[in-house]
Amino acid sequence: MTQDIDVTELTVAEVQDGLARGAFTVEALTSAFLARIVRDNPRLNAIIFLNEAALDDARAMDARRASGEALGPLAGIPVVVKDTMDMVGFPSTGGWSLLTSKHGGTDLMPGTDSPVVARLRAAGAIILGKTNVPILSASGTHANNSWAGPTLNAAAPDLVPGGSSAGTATAVAASMAVLGLAEETGGSIQNPAAAQGLVGIKPSFGLVPNAGVMPLASQRDVVGPIARCVRDAALTLDVLAGFTMEDPKTVAGVGNIPQGGYASLLSETALAGRRLGLYGPGWRNQPLSAETEALYARAQDEIRARGATLVADPFAGSGFAELRQPVSDEYPFDARGLESAPYDMHRYLERMGPEAAVRGFADFARATAAGDAFAPGGMLHYLHRLPGFDAALANPLVPPPMPEFIAARAAYRRIFDGVMESQGLDALVFPQMREAPPPLHADGLIQETTVSEINIAGLPGVTVPAGFHASGAPFCLIFVGRMWSEALLLALAHDYEAATRHRRAPGLAA
């Protein structure tokens, strides 16, 4: 029966319909996806740990379905999760050889699932495995330095896959899973989604719990879905979003989640009558490449055809662009908020439980002494340039005050909300990248448009496929809006997606 199931580009709705009609079972579907993984993963290197219990979980789901039991919204849907998300029975390696016994390092074995993994399980999803990341999720471009080796871009194998959620994006793009979980501190959902022609949701800060997820910056980190269509991403956000005492900041989302769920508000007329702001030097004084400018112009025509009004450079004169502070020419990334990394890592490791081999930052420092991430040459050495980082590293048990980051978040929010109000804007729509993604093994970085502005501000964004560069690299838009505006952004993206149908499956050789 596995031979008869074509898993290519399968959506949640198509899986649910097939199960309801008896066209296949969850076990047969899971077997088909596992066969796809066996076929394509050795080359693409997206999935680094397979869940050997996946078929047992599938059989159990078939039994529950046969008994007439009420099932969750993702019942029987094959999914993947990012390596950094705690999942009982699997190490969380952070892509680092020093944190995996496979390379002589120390395994970080969680005692409990992270809330997002627990919510996937409760929704009935079949977790196929965990996906590749660069060391400590410290690259928004690729996973070239992972202990598991580089991950390829399924849509454009010679180009970067996007990071740090490279493995999740590649697994979804290559139809090795229906959807997957990703996490972002500085572009790690939007970059890989855009690099591979996918829908990614970077949610409002505090909407989705990220307890039990290896941190970079607790005041920036967010978890969100990557999928091949807007509806599947919205259905996953319905499962992930909401309050939990395991992550008290999620109380901020209470009252800001639509009652019927994000998927229930999708519309194919959502763009009609909307006012959308366009990319320009008022947002960031970095121009688009000629090819990206042409693709963006075409997308603007497509959006106008849906009845929207577009406003050129609404942030001009607002002072917004001047807020950006890249670390250096070598690190063109605004890292404010990452000064809490030692404290955040300590809190994360404490949650691992009393049986864990590494239970705090002191244990972590000993386990990784051979490649200290904060020492010269280490992946995170640039953090020493942030005010307050050295003090935080000297005493990782004390929460740092981070006044510079708080001031930056307040300034971004104040100007953003003011411009949206004064210009009467519903949302922004930008090309997610200023130019095509760079070659896989070159030194180039993804030249995005909304990292770290929306990461520091905590604002939501939704990527959606919008065409292809001449090289074959996907071109994606990103819709950005006010805090808690995910429902609107998803509706806008769904309208655009339904009208244009730019997404296409990559040509993967059998």
Which residues are catalytically annotated?
Answer: 82, 164, 188
Residues 6+ apart with CB under 8 A from 292: 431, 433, 434, 435, 436, 469, 475
Hey, which residues does 79 pair with through a beta bridge? 127, 179
Long-range contacts (CB closer than 8 Å, 24 or more residues apart) made by 284-287:
284/321, 284/324, 284/449, 284/453, 285/321, 286/434, 286/447, 286/449, 287/434
Question: Look-up: residue for tokens 């596995």?
Answer: 2
Residues 318, 299, 207, 380: what is their CA dihedral angle, to the nearest 10 degrees?
A: -70
Evaluate whether 132 touches 50 at the Cβ level (below 8 Å).
no
Evaluate whether 197 touches 453 at the Cβ level (below 8 Å).
no
Question: Look-up: residue for tokens 């705090």?
Answer: 360
Q: How far is it, in rounded angstroms, from Cα 383 to Cα 338? A: 7
Give the 3-state secondary structure of residue 191.
helix
Show the beta-strand stretches assigned E in 341-484: 427-431, 461-468, 474-480
Question: Look-up: residue for tokens 């009252």?
Answer: 255
- At 331, which amino acid appears? Y
- Give exposure, 195-219, as e/b (b: 16+ Cβ within 10 Å): bbbbbbbbbbbbbbbbbbbbbbbbb
- At 398, which amino acid appears? V
The answer to whether the bond into 452 is cis (omega within 30° of 0) is yes
| Best CA proximity match to 165, nearest among 148, 144, 140 | 140
Question: Look-up: residue for tokens 């505090």?
Answer: 206
Chain centroid to CA 135: 16
In Å, what is the CA distance from 240 to each residue of 124, 181, 243, 498? 13, 10, 10, 24
Please state at what angle helix 230-240 crosses helix 115-122, rounded to 10 degrees. 110
Show the beta-strand stretches assigned E in 343-450: 427-431
Residue count of the chain, please give it: 510
Tokens of 398: 């004390």
Show the beta-strand stretches assigned E in 61-125: 78-82
Q: How far is it, in rounded angstroms, from Cα 212 to Cα 345? A: 10
